[in-house]
């Protein structure tokens, strides 16, 4: 019988991305260490928010796409990533970031609840259904066919 307690028994299980600082979340996600069960819509928005705070829009889009595609390859079968949906999501987050200066992500979501409760409707203002059902949309960014992003 060992006379020590394994380190992993002392670590509280992660229940939400909110338990992590922005830097911890970014690091864990980009390395593929973040639990896939916790990569919710809200966590996706947070990743975009973090990268938009650090990078220009196009660089943030590239970084989010690379990290989510990598994450899908590590934790999935590499088929869930959709470049058009990901870039559009980053652009929607960017649009709302330009409206207010939030000190943190929680404040950002409280200020813009539509990002959580009506995200699909926000995207439907820019895209018709046929764009997202296009196989090319998974690997190539397709510009909006209804309303361009600002």
> Using DSSP, how many helices (H) and how many strands (E) does the chain show?
8, 0
pLDDT at residue 10, rounded to an integer: 42
Whether residue 145 lies inside any domain: the answer is: yes
Q: Is residue 123 a part of any domain in this protein? A: yes
How far from the centroid of its chain's Cα atoms is residue 92's Cα? Answer: 11
The pLDDT score that the predictor gives to residue 70 is 95
**Cα dihedral sign, 88-89-90-94:** positive
Q: Where in the sequence is the domain holding 101, given as residue range(s)?
A: 41-150
* In the predicted structure, residue 11 carries a pLDDT above the cut 60: no
Within-domain flag for 91? yes
The answer to the question of residue 10 being in a domain is no
Higher pLDDT, 76 or 147: 147
Q: What is the pLDDT of residues 38-82, one digit of tens each?
A: 999 999 999 999 999 999 999 999 999 999 999 999 998 888 899
Assess if residue 76 is contained within a domain: yes
Angle at CA of residue 64, ends 119 and 145, nearest 5°: 50
With a cut of 90, say whether residue 5 has pLDDT above it: no
The answer to whether residue 55 is domain-embedded is yes
Question: Which pLDDT does position 12 carry in this prediction?
Answer: 67
Residue 15 lies in a domain: no
* pLDDT attached to residue 49: 98
pLDDT tens for each residue of 107-137? 999 999 999 999 999 999 999 999 988 999 9
pLDDT value of residue 147: 97
Overall number of domains in the chain: 1
């Amino acid at each position: 019988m060992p006379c020590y307690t394994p380190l992993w028994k002392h670590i509280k299980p992660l229940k939400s991305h909110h338990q992590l600082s922005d830097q911890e979340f970014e690091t864990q996600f980009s390395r593929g260490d973040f639990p896939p069960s916790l990569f919710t819509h809200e966590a996706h928005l947070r990743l975009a928010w973090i990268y938009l705070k650090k990078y220009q829009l196009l660089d943030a889009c590239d970084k989010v796409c690379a990290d989510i595609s990598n994450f899908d390859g590590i934790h999935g079968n590499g088929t869930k990533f959709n470049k058009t949906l990901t870039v559009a999501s980053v652009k929607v987050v960017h649009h709302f970031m330009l409206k207010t200066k939030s000190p943190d992500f929680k404040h950002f979501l409280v200020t813009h609840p539509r990002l959580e409760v009506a995200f699909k409707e926000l995207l439907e203002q820019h895209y018709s259904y046929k764009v997202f059902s296009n196989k090319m949309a998974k690997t190539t960014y397709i510009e909006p066919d209804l309303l361009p992003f600002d």
